[in-house]
Structure 1
């Protein structure tokens, strides 16, 4: 490849992606250094939700949504019945 002026040179992404060695990001290096001395505690893939907050079951949520829809339908019907047109 002939010598090119810096202003004329374009960055070739395929050449950069084909590099044999890729340097880790700064965050990865920081975490590796931190975990070398003080490894993190093991955690499950999906941690349990906060045990302090009460969790409603899905049927309660469904009942609330259907109740809201029924109230809207009744209010729209009442408004339609009260309108003079």
Structure 2
């Protein structure tokens, strides 16, 4: 036999995937045994809607940013006019 035939026989994925019964993983077996006597508590689909508190309006943060930019422009313009004299 050639080396190719040995590798094909050793790693026959089509045969392995065509099996009718697939054994669950060790973790799945462990959890099934644990939950048989003590099932887990129900968990809501979504978490708390707002764990950090209410959000501010985007208009407030936009106004703050634009106000800071306007103040910076005025400050730079004032500094340049004072430097000229």
TM-score range, shorter chain: 0.5 to 0.7
Equivalent runs, 1:1-85 vs 2, <5 Å:
8-10=6-8, 11-47=11-47, 49=48, 55-57=53-55, 60-63=56-59, 65-78=61-74, 80-81=76-77, 82-83=79-80
3-state secondary structure, aligned to 2:22: coil
Deviates more, 1:9-18 or 1:21-30: 9-18
CA drift of 1:64 comes to 5.0
TM-score normalised according to structure 1 size? 0.55
**Which runs of 5 or more structure 2 residues have no equivalent in the other structure?**
none
* CA displacement 1:23-62 (0-9 Å, x = unmatched): 2222211111110010112222224x289x55213xx152
Unaligned 5+ runs, structure 1: none
More helix by share: 2
Three-state SS of the structure 2 residue aligned to 1:23 is coil
Number of residue pairs matched? Answer: 76
Q: Which TM-score applies when normalising by structure 2? A: 0.55
